[in-house]
């Protein structure tokens, strides 16, 4: 399989050596052909330790950030998961190997179309790509056991908490336009447990419960 060695080195040096422990997450990222989710001219860089442009001014996250966020969801395999910000579809493919059903929402139709076709071609059958404003969640398919937001919000949209199952987890970058903190939130019978993980930089979540278009351009 193409880039097998690069993918293995990525998992060992960028993920395991930096503290990613969940063997299922490591195995999934060893499996998903990340080079297929970037443009052809970027394939040789697909396993580099950085984010890469994916078109329309958006970026596919650094492998380490994908691993950190995915690990925080603590998936066992039976969950229904919502991803906000399909982008290239890479994170969706990783989730598809770790959960039973994945819904992923993208606001830019051309990105959603491309990701949908690629995920189908690569046979990730449990992923549903939907075009809508994901800042509102996806009420028609709620509740979810996990919600992962791969774009940055100015604050935590309440819709996400409402659409989580009891004991469900939300992972979301929250903060300013150019730097954020990664939050992990667990919905428990006693209320919301909130903790922070690492500093990060994501493209903005643009929508009714995110940033307004006019604040960006």
Among 134, 137, 168, 173, binds ligand SAH (CB under 6 A): 134
- Contacts of ligand SAH in 72-91 (CB under 6 A): 84-85, 87-88, 90-91
Select from 106, 164, 175, 184 the one that contacts ligand SAH (CB under 6 A). Answer: 106
Residue 211 tokens, joined: 């940033």
CB 159 within 8 A of CB 136: yes
- Assess 96 for contact with ligand SAH (CB under 6 A): no
Strands 52-55 and 58-60: antiparallel
Q: Which of 7, 36, 107, 114 binds ligand SAH (CB under 6 A)?
A: 107
Cβ closest to ligand SAH, residue 193 vs residue 213? 213
Q: Which is nearer to ligand SAH, 32 or 185 (CB)?
A: 32
Using the minimum distance from each CB to ligand SAH, give the nearer residue, 108 or 161. Answer: 108
110 catalytic residue (yes or no): no
Q: Using the minimum distance from each CB to ligand SAH, give the nearer residue, 120 or 193.
A: 120
Site membership for ligand SAH, residue 210 (CB under 6 A): yes
Query: Under rule CB under 6 A, which residues in 162-201 are in contact with ligand SAH?
Result: none
Distance CA 60, CA 205 (A): 14
- By CB under 6 A, tell whether 103 contacts ligand SAH: no
The span of 40-48, 130-138, 157-165, 187-195 binding ligand SAH (CB under 6 A) equals: 130-138
Contacts with ligand SAH, residue ranges (CB under 6 A): 54, 58-61, 84-85, 87-88, 90-91, 105-108, 111, 133-135, 150-151, 203, 205-207, 210
Q: Which residues are catalytic?
A: 61
């Amino acid at each position: 399989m193409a880039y097998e060695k690069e993918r293995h080195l990525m998992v060992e040096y960028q993920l395991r050596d930096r503290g990613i422990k969940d063997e299922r997450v490591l195995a999934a990222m060893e499996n998903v052909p990340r080079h297929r989710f970037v443009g052809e001219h970027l394939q040789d860089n697909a396993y580099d330790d950085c984010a890469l442009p994916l078109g329309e001014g958006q970026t596919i996250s650094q492998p380490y950030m994908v691993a950190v966020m995915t690990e925080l969801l603590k998936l066992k395999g039976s969950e229904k998961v919502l991803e906000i910000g399909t982008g290239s579809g890479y994170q969706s493919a990783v989730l598809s190997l770790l959960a039973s059903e994945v819904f992923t929402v993208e606001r830019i139709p051309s990105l959603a179309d491309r990701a949908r076709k690629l995920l189908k071609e690569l046979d990730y059958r449990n992923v549903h790509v939907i075009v809508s404003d994901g800042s509102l969640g996806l009420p028609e398919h709620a509740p979810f056991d996990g919600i992962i937001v791969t774009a940055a919000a100015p604050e935590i949209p309440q819709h996400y908490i409402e659409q989580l199952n009891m004991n469900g987890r939300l992972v979301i970058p929250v903060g300013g336009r150019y730097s954020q903190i990664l939050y992990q939130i667990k919905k428990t019978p006693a209320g919301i447990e909130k903790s922070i993980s690492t500093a990060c930089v994501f493209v903005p979540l643009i929508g009714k419960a995110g940033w307004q278009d006019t604040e960006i351009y």
